[in-house]
Chain A
Amino acid sequence: MINFQYTRATDIADAVRQIAIDPSAKLIAGGTNLIDLMKKYVERPSRLIDISRLPLQTVEETAAGGVRIGALVPNSDLAYHPLVGQRYPVLASAILAGASQQLRNMASTGGNLLQRTRPRCG
């Protein structure tokens, strides 16, 4: 894998500040997409900013009757969350239809939406 520097964001503002000043840096959470691409030299960040410990891990009901999902909620936790199971069973099924349980345990909701898809290249 390529060499890179590593820092851990202390809070959300710190993560935003760090990524804003370094265009060649990348945020990392679950890593299932980014590390795979880095091993293929598709992504070559000079620095990874670890946001995996930021407090964005909750799924909560909103006053309007919706559900607010933290960007760092793992795919599996979201699929098995009671609120999602009751109100959005198709979402739960869709999540569980993708990847494997190991990957779903790692992959974050935010990263899932932001992942860089690619053609199969072996």
Chain B
Amino acid sequence: MAYPTARISIALIVNGVERQLKVTPWTTLLDALRDHLDLTGTKKGCDHGQCGACTVLIDGRRINSCLTLAVMKDGAEVTTIEGLATGGVLHPLQQAFIEHDAFQCGYCTPGQICSAAGLIAEGQATTPDEIRELMSGNICRCAAYPNIVAAIQQVIGGMP
């Protein structure tokens, strides 16, 4: 059943840049990023909030963009994997993932890194066990988990 629903104009501050877009109410933030803004770094895995591939930061907090309606986030600041590096310098997590070989196929990696950025901002994890527990929302089917934990632990340990 189709409704003659008008698209709704919203503004999102994506990676520091205000973007205007018109979306249907049922457009998820994930689809808005990928299909409307061409930011395809954020991945669609399960599309049901179980795998974490779609993780982005909204106002600094990590969330599943596949279970978020874009219209509900009008005015919010969204940070995706494309927004983590600054001035051509990789984010410490991106660098650590490379150094620790923390991925194989790479499909889950943008979500893993955005989730880890959220985890560090939360400040609730320091030990490998705590990192594992609080990264449980990000599945890696290549099972790079030991290296992912090591990469995150290195960044946490290197913080002042």
Report A's interface with B, CB cutoff 8 A.
Answer: 1-6, 28, 31-32, 35-36, 39, 46, 48, 50, 52, 76, 80, 99-103, 105-106
Contacts and interface: CB of A to CB of B under 8 A. Distances in A.
B67 A101 contact: no
Interface residues of B, number: 33
A51 to B, nearest CB: 10
A106 to B, nearest CB: 5
B69 A6 contact: yes
A5 B25 contact: yes
- By Cβ-Cβ distance, the 8 closest A-B pairs, closest first, are A100-B137, A6-B25, A102-B137, A1-B26, A102-B64, A35-B67, A105-B61, A3-B3
A39 B50 CA distance: 13
A101 B137 contact: yes
Given A6-B8, A6-B69, A6-B71, A101 B134 contact: yes
A106 B72 CA distance: 12
Given A31-B72, A80-B124, A106-B64, 4 more contacts: A5-B3, A6-B5, A100-B138, A102-B63
B3 A102 contact: no
A36 B48 CA distance: 6
Interface of B: 1-3, 5, 8, 24-26, 28, 47-49, 52, 55, 61-64, 67-69, 71-72, 115, 118-119, 122, 124, 134-138
B115 A31 contact: no
A106 B138 CA distance: 15
B2 A39 contact: no
A79 B93 CA distance: 26
Contact of B49 (A1, A5, A36, A48): A36
A100 B52 CA distance: 9
B144 to A, nearest CB: 18
Contacts of B115: 101-102
B67 A3 contact: no
B26 A3 contact: yes
A32 B89 CA distance: 34
A32 B69 CA distance: 10
Contacts of B62: 101-102, 105
Given A36-B49, A103-B49, A103-B64, A31 B25 contact: no
